[in-house]
């Protein structure tokens, strides 16, 4: 590679890096506050309000949330749903996106319009509930996956990536006698790893954040994913629950430190997904995959 060592280029690097460091700091500070808050005492958090480095350290919050297996169970459910859900969604989405990226497909514009239409119009919670119920999905993990198998946005983005692949590759494969399935799995998918990584990440995060479906479709609390526990604790601890049922006398809300600890526990696993996918976003990743 030709090295670019001009003065203006170096200046550019310095300004760019400095700005990025500032941006990174600004974005991460509140999360540091959450982490620090989870490792300190209730009193310190109440007095200081914004803590970045605790003066009093305490593991009480973590001891509290890990003293039963609820959190572990919920994490297990979330990890399972995220893993299998992402896998399932990727298969269905990639197939459909590839099909719709083919310019020789009749009716593809109509189908795309129908897809976009679902992004704008939705029948709402109750009719969907009825469909899920009639399929017998209530209280099965499938209820958290199948009704959200394809996200129209992800489908459109994926199709856009497929469409932007160099057309010649497909053409020459066809001349070589490759069938559609072969073209998809041997050429299109390997060439689209950045897109596959991106959309996988989007799906993974969506499944990780599953909340309302779990409330509606999972009557059995043992099958709740982590977000249900997280939201319950955040809402109670933030004092957002209404005072209208006269329960507040009996039940103390969870402490602020517990809230912070649950946020940390519920966020770290999904944060770890990104670094694994990052290599696909490197400059020239696509070229690498063609050569390899």
> Given the structure tokens 């060592």, which residue do they identify?
5
Residues 126-165 that bind another protein (CB under 8 A): 126-131, 133-140, 142, 146-147, 149-150, 153, 155-157, 160-161, 163-164
Q: Which tokens in the block code for residue 249?
A: 């006398």
Q: Which residues of 41-61 are buried (b: 16+ CB within 10 A; e: fewer)?
A: beebbeeeeebeebeeebebb
Tell me, rounded to whole angstroms, the distance of Cα 266 from its chain centroid.
Answer: 12
CB 133 → another protein: shortest distance, Å? 6
Q: How many residues bind another protein (CB under 8 A)?
A: 153
CB 251 within 8 A of CB 233: no
Question: Which of 55, 168, 175, 239 is the binder for another protein (CB under 8 A)?
Answer: 239
CB 172 → another protein: shortest distance, Å? 15
> Which one-letter DSSP state was computed for residue 188?
I
Question: Which of 38, 86, 93, 213 is the binder for another protein (CB under 8 A)?
Answer: 93
Per CB under 8 A, does 187 bind another protein? no
CB 40 → another protein: shortest distance, Å? 13
Question: Which of 58, 66, 79, 111 is the binder for another protein (CB under 8 A)?
Answer: 111
**Cβ contacts of residue 158 below 8 Å, gap of 6+?**
93, 94, 97, 192, 195, 199
Per CB under 8 A, does 176 bind another protein? no
Per CB under 8 A, does 61 bind another protein? no
Residues 1-60 that bind another protein (CB under 8 A): 1-2, 4, 8-9, 12-13, 16-17, 19-21, 23-24, 26-28, 30-31, 33-34, 42-43, 46-47, 49-50
The CA-based dihedral angle spanning residues 95, 96, 98, 99, taken in that order and rounded to the nearest 10 degrees = 110
> Given the structure tokens 């696909």, which residue do they identify?
280
């Amino acid at each position: 590679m030709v090295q670019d060592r001009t003065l203006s280029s170096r200046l550019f690097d310095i300004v760019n890096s400095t700005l990025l460091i500032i941006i990174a700091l600004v974005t991460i500070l509140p999360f540091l506050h959450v982490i620090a808050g989870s490792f300190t005492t209730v009193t310190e958090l109440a007095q200081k309000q914004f803590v970045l480095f605790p003066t009093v350290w305490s593991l009480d919050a973590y001891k509290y949330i890990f003293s039963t297996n609820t959190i572990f169970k919920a994490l297990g459910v979330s990890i399972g749903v995220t893993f299998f859900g992402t896998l399932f969604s990727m298969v269905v989405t990639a197939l459909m996106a590839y099909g719709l990226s083919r310019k020789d497909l009749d009716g593809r514009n109509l189908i795309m319009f129908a897809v976009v239409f679902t992004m704008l119009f939705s029948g709402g919670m109750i009719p969907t509930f009825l469909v899920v119920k009639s399929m017998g999905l209530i209280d099965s993990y499938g209820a958290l996956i199948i009704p959200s198998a394809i996200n129209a946005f992800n489908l459109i983005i994926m199709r856009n990536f497929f469409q932007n692949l160099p057309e010649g590759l497909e053409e020459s494969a066809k001349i070589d006698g490759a069938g559609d399935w072969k073209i998809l799995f041997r050429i299109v998918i390997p060439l689209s790893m950045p897109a596959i990584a991106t959309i996988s990440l989007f799906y993974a995060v969506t499944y990780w954040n599953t909340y309302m479906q779990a409330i509606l479709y999972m009557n059995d609390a043992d099958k709740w994913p982590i977000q249900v526990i997280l939201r319950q604790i955040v809402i109670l601890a933030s004092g957002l629950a209404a005072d209208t049922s006269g329960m507040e006398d009996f039940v103390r809300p969870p402490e602020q430190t517990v809230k912070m600890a649950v946020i940390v526990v519920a966020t770290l696993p999904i944060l770890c997904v990104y670094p694994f996918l990052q290599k696909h976003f490197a400059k020239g990743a696509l070229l690498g995959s063609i050569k390899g």
